[in-house]
Amino acid sequence: MNRKIIGVIGAMESEIRHLREKMESPITESRAGLTFYRGNVGKNELVLVQSGVGKVNAARTAQVLIDRYAPDYLINTGIAGGLGDGLHVGDFVIGAELVQHDFDLTKFGYPKGVVPGFGDGKSPFRFQADTGLVDAFFGSALQYLSGENVRKGCIASGDVFVADAEMKGQIKQLFSADAVEMEGAAIAQVAVANGVPFVVVRAISDLADGTATASFEAFEQETAVLSAKIVGKCVSKLA
């Protein structure tokens, strides 16, 4: 049997709880102030961890996970604000591309989102998710949602909860992003640096506008579980 080790990171307890409950006989390990849960899901071994919110927490968690457990794949699950036209709360976005919307060296002549050392320095660098994982998650998502409620696209990350129509519009325009959150691009950068295939997936909890805070609070649990269910379905059969 071609058994894989799959690392899964969620920022919040609500984003990992469902997966932890589905693991078979999980073993708990503590490293670098983080609690890792190891157990089987289907034919594969899952290493699950809560990173905390934000890009620094996400990046350090990804590196510790890679160093300790050498996963075959790295997955970031969770919830996000919807930016793309036609997105609604409860829809699902698979990040084929990841970009840091708050990385700003414009005073030195770089366009916003450019990370020196990555790409040509002339346009925002987009970390590319593994196409096989993107396709696998798209298929798994269709077992829970109809086709118009699932899309592959760009997810933008930054250390800010976007709840403002003007900021939403700027991020959407500058990066052609479909969703916005606070961890994915940091995890993507660490995965790329280590040569680990990755994907970032998000259920939409709000629309990143003036209603975002209330919507997030109302739909956090429901949408976090949706993302975790799709992850659980997919990782149980990844080859």
Respond yes or no: is residue 15 known to be catalytic: yes
Q: Is 206 a catalytic residue?
A: yes
Residue where the block lists tokens 């591309």: 97
Neighbouring-strand partners of residue 24? 40
Are 232 and 25 within 8 A, CB to CB? no
List the catalytic residue out of 15, 91, 181, 183. 15
β-pair type (179-181, 127-128): unpaired
What are the DSSP E strand ranges found in the chain?
Answer: 5-10, 24-31, 34-41, 44-50, 73-76, 79-82, 92-100, 127-128, 150-157, 179-181, 198-206
Catalytic entry in 164, 206, 209, 222: 206
- Cα separation, 44 vs 40, in Å, equals 6
Positions annotated as catalytic residues are 15, 206
